Structure 1
Amino acid sequence: MQQELAALKANGTWSLQALPPRKKLIGCKWVYKIKFKFDGNVECYKAILVARGYNQVEGLDYHETFAPVVKLVTIRLLLVIVLS
């Protein structure tokens, strides 16, 4: 968990802000996972900090969401167009 927190801080994943009036705080929780090698031995233990976004209500806690996702095929196509 310490390594995950250090990585999140080093990447600048978040910044502390004051809570706006009449808004509730979103909690977080740790999710633990054990990754195995192909032969069944333990490869590593993972700890991931995730937000409890399921407690939010659309229109009250947030108005819109945006998650940009790009496929590798799209990036290749754009690079071909730029290079030509």
Structure 2
Amino acid sequence: MDKDPQNNNERLTRQQYRQQQTTGSNDGEEEQQLSRSRADQKIEQEQLISEQKMQRLRKRLNIAIISLVVAIIIVYLILFFVK
């Protein structure tokens, strides 16, 4: 008879085979969705961390610019009043 390796002990109808294939693909899709959601969460977390770092850097740069402007004004005042 059939020596096909896929026909182990019982033969499946087309409907049973399709159901088996769809349930197998659904499991794979669920795993892909979970891995996608985990990847999305990781990307969101990295974006939040990078935004926080950018905010800290902006504050530090603003402080540095303001302190340099104040230092330049002080130097000009010292040079103007000291002769």
Please, what TM-score do these two structures have when normalized by structure 1? 0.20
Higher strand share goes to which structure? 1
Higher helix share goes to which structure? 2
Larger Rg: 2
Answer 1 or 2: higher relative contact order, Cα 8 Å, separation at least 6: 1
Please, what TM-score do these two structures have when normalized by structure 2? 0.21
